[in-house]
Amino acid sequence: MIIIKGIPFRKINGITLFPFIIVRPKKPNDVLLNHERIHIWQQLELLIIPFYIWYVAEWLYHYAQCRQWWVAYRRISFEKEAYLNEADLNYLKKRKLWAFLKYR
């Protein structure tokens, strides 16, 4: 995992594109980094490329239902898992394989 800091995104604080975590703040907090690390593990367990296919497919499905970009984004199972567990800095130590499935 390689962390790149200080990228001038407009509306997002970070994005994970394996093996990179790219964040807007020059000093990202632990919660933001934990959120992105959760995505690293999700990408690894789905062998990276299938993760992105699944991610986009879920977003398209939710967007077709609600027609709101950010609402569709927050409904993605990978994002639900990351947002609900980002503050638990020990989450990755106890996270089970394919844990995102319970957030569908």
The 10s digit of each residue's pLDDT in 43-95 is 999 999 999 999 999 999 999 999 999 999 999 999 999 999 999 999 999 99
pTM of the model: 0.95
Q: Is 27 helix (H, G, I), strand (E, B) or coil?
A: coil
Q: Is 19 helix (H, G, I), strand (E, B) or coil?
A: coil
Radius of gyration over every alpha carbon of the chain, rounded to an integer in angstroms: 13
> How remote is the C-alpha of 2 from its chain's centroid?
15
pLDDT, tens digit (0-9, with 9 covering 90-100), for 29-55: 999 999 999 999 999 999 999 999 999
25 cis-preceded (ω within 30 degrees of 0)? no
Cα–Cα distance measured from residue 73 to residue 69, given in angstroms and rounded to the nearest whole number = 6
